[in-house]
Homo-oligomer: A and B are copies of this chain.
Amino acid sequence: MLESITENRIINDLAKRFRRSPLQKNMLHESDSEIIVFNNTCGGSIAVTIDSISEEIETGLYEDPYLIGWMSVMVNFSDIAASGAEPIGILISEILPAHLSAEYVDRIQEGINDAVLKCGSFVLGGDTNSGEKLILTGCAIGRSSENTYLKRTGCRKSDILYSTGKLGKGNAYAITKLIDKNASPYIYLPEARLKEAAVIKKYASCCMDTSDGLIAALDQLLRLNNCGFKLISDWLSTIEEEAKKTAESIRLPQWLLLAGQHGEFELLFTIPEHIEADFLGETNMSDWKPVKLGVVTDNQTLIINLYDKMVSLDSCKLRNLPFLTEGDINKYLQNLLEYDHELRETATVPG
């Protein structure tokens, strides 16, 4: 079932030879970071993750060196947050083409530094190489003083689905960079939800970040948990206002802001119904308002109210589209629009 998704198949194939460490507490796909417990007697454990920024630079999605530096930190600390860990620090390997100016490189470092400060954390080390293409790889390390972590698995029927913030921001930004270059600039500078994660951790049954957008994340969760999700009828209210305007400006159906695969690095998490009030009680005392998205169901599908019908989305198709269209953004967009048209005409009506 996981293998219906091209990305999962690629990962399984790359990892097929590797034996698992007995110290590792998560299975493949099961967690945004790797959870390693290396000293049971006194709770020595870490969460660790690695992520490269390369495709985003190559496609022109990330052009500003400050953003490139910022993202190399945030994508990694977002995984640390999704695991319910506090950040210890990050190591960054930079492949720097010789033609980059000193100012350009300095802006990358500024982005890295500001992101690390924003996360209250540190650059612990790094590596630098020359190369033809600019690539940044971050490896972030976190820990949990209680020795407990969040995973992508664990949600159950009737748990309530939340995100840390409004959605669609990553895809709105991608529209302005890749589809309509004349669109008004969209400010995209996501922050890893570390502070929120510390609260979420006390209540959530599972957690994952929306690095690939909402629908990709829900698709992965439904495969891992043998569950489904039903989004609230008023899903439009979960999309950020500026993002909506961007979609409008190119006449893109708003729900596609949830389907595109450039995410906003919010955390997606589920709260068991019987402790939802406690959870909301705690968040009410802070300035953070979690966004209610829907509910966990027991049949493995993703339900959304579209065009006044209850639609079961083909999230498998949506997730595999970038591979099918081989990185051609126009072809990708056209496929999305065709699928939207199909839904408009012949929506399936689940039971």
Indicate whether A52 reaches chain B with its CB closer than 8 angstroms: yes
**Chain A contact patch, size range:** 35 or more
Contact between chains at B132 and A34 (CB < 8 Å): no
Assess the B50–A126 pair: CB atoms within 8 A.
yes
What number of copies of this chain does the assembly contain? 2
CA distance A145 to B50 in the complex (A): 25
Chain A interface (Cβ < 8 Å from any Cβ of B): 10-11, 14-21, 23-24, 33-34, 36, 38-39, 41-44, 46, 48-52, 54-55, 58, 88-89, 91-95, 98, 105, 109-110, 112-113, 116, 121-133, 135, 137, 139, 141, 143, 326-327
Cβ of B43 and Cβ of A126 under 8 Å apart?
A: no
Residues of B within 8 A of A143 (CB): 38, 44
Residues B133 and A132 in contact, CB atoms below 8 Å apart: yes
Q: Is A55 within 8 A of B11, CB to CB?
A: no
Is the Cβ of A93 less than 8 Å from the Cβ of B125?
A: no
A15 vs B126: C-alpha distance when bound (angstroms) = 9
Collect the chain B residues with CB atoms within 8 Å of residue A10's CB.
Answer: 128
B49 near A95 with CB under 8 A, answer no
Q: Are A123 and B36 in contact (CB under 8 A)?
A: no
In Å, the complex CA distance between A131 and B55 comes to 6
